[in-house]
Copies of this chain bind each other. A is one copy, B any other.
Amino acid sequence: MTLDPDVLRALADPMRARIVELLAGEALCTCHLVEETGAKQANVSNHLKVLREAGLVDAEPCGRFTYYRLRPDALRRVADSLSTLADTASAQSLTRRPC
């Protein structure tokens, strides 16, 4: 299992991480996120685009609103890749390649 740079990069930004944490609790539309984060609308929209393209978030148009929903499977994939990496590291913690 190899690490996905796009997903990790999307999660690495503090504002996007905050959005992900907010969306973990409930589905929210952009105006909610603008209100919660205090950021400008264009800024939030840009971050949501990054999260969407990384596959971390689904957009659900609903009238003139757009609800955003977190994709737990995407989060779980990253968690698994990091977990298995930690496991292999633990297993070979004493191995050291000679110079």
Q: Which one of B24, B82, B95 contacts A89 once the chains associate, using CB atoms below 8 Å?
A: B24
Tell whether A28 pairs with B97 under 8 Å between CB atoms, given A3-B17, A79-B86.
yes
> How many copies of this chain sit in the oligomeric assembly?
2
Counting chain A residues whose Cβ lies within 8 A of the other chain, the interface size class is 35 or more
Q: Which one of B3, B25, B79, B86 contacts A82 once the chains associate, using CB atoms below 8 Å?
A: B79
- Chain A contacts with B in 7-63, Cβ cutoff 8 A: 8-9, 11-14, 17, 20-21, 23-29, 31-32
Residues of chain A touching chain B, judged by Cβ–Cβ distance below 8 Å, are 2-3, 5, 8-9, 11-14, 17, 20-21, 23-29, 31-32, 65, 67, 69-73, 75-76, 78-80, 82-83, 85-90, 92-93, 95-97, 99
Q: State the 8 A-B residue pairs at the shortest beta-carbon distance, nearest first.
A: A75-B86, A79-B82, A26-B95, A72-B86, A9-B12, A12-B12, A79-B83, A8-B12
